[in-house]
Amino acid sequence: MIRKVSTERTATKIGGTTKKEKVTPASPIGIFDSGVGGLSVLAEVMRQLPHEDVIYLGDTARIPYGSRTPQEIVKINREIIPFLLKQGAKLIIMACGTSSAIAYPVIKDEYPVEIINLIEPGSQAAVTASRSGKIGVIATSATVNSQAFQDKIRELKKEAVVSAVGCPLFVPLIERGLVDSDEAKQVAKDYLKPLLENGIDALILGCTHYPHLAKTIQSIVGPGVKLVDPAEEAVKQTRKLLETSGTIRKESGPHKYNFFVTGSTIQFQDIGSRLLGKPIVGTKQISLT
């Protein structure tokens, strides 16, 4: 659901003060994830919205989110979003399936900008892609246990049969840069086996880390299963919102991508550059607590 957001916003208690600021087309988009996974969403923003400035925050000191309690995940989101607002973000993309499933329903109306989550866009895309109505979901354990994707898919298509598997080992493998390793391939086979046995023909990559394993996953599930990356639909929704509010950046001048992490800048830049396919430089380390 799209809320109408005023271009005049009041950002409350950011840095201990209340301030008014004007959101303009030149204001950046904020993107955050627990690590490098959200770079798959950034890549989609680069493709669909090539003129936009972006602030990317990887909360690498607290990765993974999938093993944390719902209370912890909500608290973390309430620390991240004010930081992005302080940097001038005009819209925020939760480039994290776990945050989208658990924190978004709780905090979606707490801030003066639109927050895009991954659950609704991913579910809608999967329902459209599936011919049989048998849809698979792979995500963090927290996301799977929340039933967010399962409930949304059934809301969109009552007769859908949804199979979901938590994949806790994927994020650590990707964060270590082991995307093409034999270990990753074996782990993927084990996770995907029950979904294939259930006859799925569409598979939601319910964590933004997982598109980095798309080649391996597709080789295992075969051409008859459509992989659904929620990022594509989420960024389409982002574009519509920016167009509706008149804050989309259309000029083709220089744009900036600023990166922040809560952990090691060197590790993030090394692995992130390989996953993004572009050099990441100038990353700043910050503390959110």
Catalytic residues, by residue number, are 96, 207
Q: Within 13 Å of residue 84, how many CA atoms lie on the same side as its CB?
A: 32
Q: How far apart are CA 158 and CA 160, in angstroms?
A: 6
- In the chain, the amino acid numbered 282 is G
* Cis check: omega of the bond before 64, within 30 degrees of 0: yes
Residue 88 DSSP symbol: T
- In the chain, the amino acid numbered 193 is K
List all residues 6 or more positions away from 41 whose beta carbon is below 8 Å from its beta carbon: 31, 33, 93, 95, 208, 231, 234, 235
Copy the structure tokens of residue 105.
């329903």
Residue 62 DSSP symbol: G
The pair phi, psi for residue 234, each rounded to 5°, is -65, -40
- In the chain, the amino acid numbered 23 is V
- In the chain, the amino acid numbered 3 is R
Residue whose token pair is 């060197």: 266
